[in-house]
């Protein structure tokens, strides 16, 4: 006759092993999900200046009829965040508080608002409507062509030496902050950094598999 205690112990062990398998499967799926939703950086578009190149000292005129050049920021040992926008771009409007906050929180950084198209009066009304009078705002096709801006909103980060750090299409706060993170990591973009890490992880995994096969042989 079968001992009920042995049967219950066996069932308990089967249950424990089953739960362990489920936990391992969930842990694996969480890892895959984490990789899929890893923060993406600003999307760099092809053409124009590349990260690491010196930004040309373009002569610009602000809507307030003041003159400035891009190398002025480097002369003050400041970096500059160029934020390309349009009065008709709703995402640009939603990101205005973000770029202003970032510029305030980074002592080394100044903010320059820019556009490469539209009527000057339209931009002046936009400045007044959103209280941007305290910020330099330029309307320049040459500036847009320099960075090959084809979609908005677009942001460019230049360091204190006048070197292009990172740039790209930005649709969220995370995208803009990724430009600063790229500077900290010394890469052209967070996307490049993430791709490099995934590649390194794959190579390390392959090397480990190779070692295991060699040992088994």
> What digits encode the pLDDT tens for the residues 100-141?
999 999 999 999 999 998 899 999 999 999 999 999 999 999
Q: Bigger pLDDT: 8 or 82?
A: 82
> Is residue 147 pLDDT above 70, yes or no?
yes
User: What is the pairing mode between strands 79-84 and 154-158?
Assistant: antiparallel
> Is residue 159 pLDDT above 50, yes or no?
yes
**Which homologous superfamily does the CATH classification assign to the domain defined by 59-193?**
Glutaredoxin (3.40.30.10)
Every domain of the chain and the residues it spans: 59-193
């Amino acid at each position: 006759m079968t001992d009920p205690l042995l049967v219950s112990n066996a069932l308990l062990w089967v249950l424990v092993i089953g739960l362990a398998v489920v936990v391992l499967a969930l842990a694996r799926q969480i890892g895959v999900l984490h990789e899929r939703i890893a923060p993406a950086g600003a999307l760099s578009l092809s053409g124009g200046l590349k990260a690491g190149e010196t930004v040309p000292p373009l002569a610009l005129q602000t809507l307030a009829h003041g003159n400035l050049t891009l190398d002025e920021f480097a002369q003050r040992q400041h970096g500059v965040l160029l934020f390309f926008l349009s009065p008709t771009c709703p995402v640009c409007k939603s990101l205005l508080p973000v770029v202003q906050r970032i510029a305030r929180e980074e002592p080394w950084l100044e903010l320059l608002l820019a556009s490469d198209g539209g009527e000057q009066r339209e931009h002046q009304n936009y400045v007044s409507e959103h209280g941007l009078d305290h910020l330099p705002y330029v309307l320049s096709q040459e500036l847009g062509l320099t960075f090959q801006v084809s979609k908005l909103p677009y942001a460019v980060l230049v360091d204190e030496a006048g070197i292009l750090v990172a740039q790209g299409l930005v649709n969220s706060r995370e995208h803009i902050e990724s430009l600063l993170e790229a500077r900290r990591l010394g890469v052209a973009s967070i996307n490049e950094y993430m791709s490099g890490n995934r590649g390194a992880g794959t190579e390390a995994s392959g090397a480990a598999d190779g070692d295991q096969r060699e040992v088994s042989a």
